[in-house]
Amino acid sequence: MNKHLGAQSVWFENVVSVNAAASVVGPKEGQGPLGKYFDIVCEDNLFGADSWEKAESEFARRGLDLAVKKSGLPMDNMDYIISGDLLNQSTGSTFGVIDTKRPFFGIFGACSTIGEGMALGSVLIDGGFAYNVLAGAGSHFCAAEKQFRFPLELGSQRPPSSTWTVTGHGAVVLSNLGEGPFVTGATTGKIVDMGVKDQNNMGAVMAPAAADTIASHLRDFNRAPDYYDLILTGDLGYVGRDLLYTLMKDEGYDISRNHKDCGIEIFDRESQDTHSGGSGCACAASVFSAYFWRKLKEKSLNKVLFVPTGALLSPTSFMQGENIPAIAHAVALETSR
């Protein structure tokens, strides 16, 4: 039996149902256009913790717990937890997962993490290695600014191409039984390096990776873009979206009619001062969990290609003059199979 479809893609022959999704976000995200869809909007970014990093773990803890509660299963039924984040050595996930006492795969895909987790979770279920997998990803604006850019106290100006790291967490429960939406295929990203060095323009960094993965997916499955009701990228923002459309046209595809970007959806550009949009592991994870999973669940969307995108840099690699490469992982979600 071979489920390896093409250069980068696999299909799933057994049921992989996304039975539950949960989102926990900060106050700014709660004030955005999707505010009413998030399960929990906390009152302040510290979320009861005494540091931003500990708050990030608290978001993870609450998000993972809530997704499992919504699935109706006990945590002990999660055969694996797969999680990641942006903090050094992924401590946001470590301390968020620690109380679960479940087998754990730590992953790092920067802001593409939820896509990587859903792909690996689907592999575990379809391959017969798990009944239920809990996959999550989170980020925290204050912790990310401190770690990657400047302390907030400096009040540094942000250029128009910059994006705003989402504070929050998104998690899904994948199961071998359920009514869907179903994960029907996945396309694993390659690292793409177009020589971009501007750490305030993540859209430009990640658009080539998104284009590469989407085009590979469409070729591997021999599908036109309009096979999908929606192609949903992670956090390209306005700058990255425009680049993506151009790059996709070069590949022979027009995706402008059925594309949305989680980073554009989560904040109001005019009133929230977030410039090019939202970003961070939590951006794709929380927007998908809060809004687009519901749309699939109620079948107002039936076929969605979810493509979280990640920029693979550290402050050290950046300051040592390295380019900023990127990666994007695609999972195909369908209400029937």
Question: Which residue number, 90 or 233, has a Cβ lying nearer to a copy of itself?
Answer: 90
Among 51, 156, 246, 271, which residue sits at the site for a copy of itself (rule: CB under 8 A)? 51
Question: Which residue number, 230 or 328, has a Cβ lying nearer to a copy of itself?
Answer: 328
What whole-number distance in Å separates Cα of residue 303 and Cα of residue 208? 23
- Annotate 217-280 with DSSP letters as a single string: HHHHTT--GGGSSEEEESS-HHHHHHHHHHHHHHTT---TTSEEEHHHHSS-HHHH--TT-EES
> Judged by CB under 8 A, does residue 88 bind a copy of itself?
yes
As measured in angstroms, the least distance from the Cβ of 307 to a copy of itself is 14
Site residues (CB under 8 A) for a copy of itself, limited to 235-264: none
Among 16, 18, 87, 166, which residue sits at the site for a copy of itself (rule: CB under 8 A)? 87
> Judged by CB under 8 A, does residue 152 bind a copy of itself?
no
Structure tokens at 326: 């990127």
Among 18, 118, 120, 166, which residue sits at the site for a copy of itself (rule: CB under 8 A)? 120
Among 28, 61, 102, 217, which residue sits at the site for a copy of itself (rule: CB under 8 A)? 102
Structure tokens at 106: 């730590």
> Judged by CB under 8 A, does residue 150 bind a copy of itself?
no
First-to-final CA distance of the chain: 19
Among 198, 242, 251, 322, which residue sits at the site for a copy of itself (rule: CB under 8 A)? 322
Among 76, 75, 117, smallest CA distance to 93 is for 117
> Judged by CB under 8 A, does residue 221 bind a copy of itself?
no
What whole-number distance in Å separates Cα of residue 53 and Cα of residue 14? 38
Q: C-alpha 37: how far from its chain's center?
A: 17
What whole-number distance in Å separates Cα of residue 272 and Cα of residue 79? 40
Site residues (CB under 8 A) for a copy of itself, limited to 298-317: 312-317
What whole-number distance in Å separates Cα of residue 170 and Cα of residue 137? 6
> Judged by CB under 8 A, does residue 107 bind a copy of itself?
yes
Question: Which residue number, 127 or 160, has a Cβ lying nearer to a copy of itself?
Answer: 127
Q: C-alpha 201: how far from its chain's center?
A: 18
Q: Which residues bind a copy of itself (CB under 8 A)?
A: 1-4, 8, 10, 51, 53-54, 79-80, 84, 86-91, 94-95, 97-98, 101-110, 116, 120, 123-124, 126-131, 147, 188-191, 193, 312-317, 320, 322, 325, 327
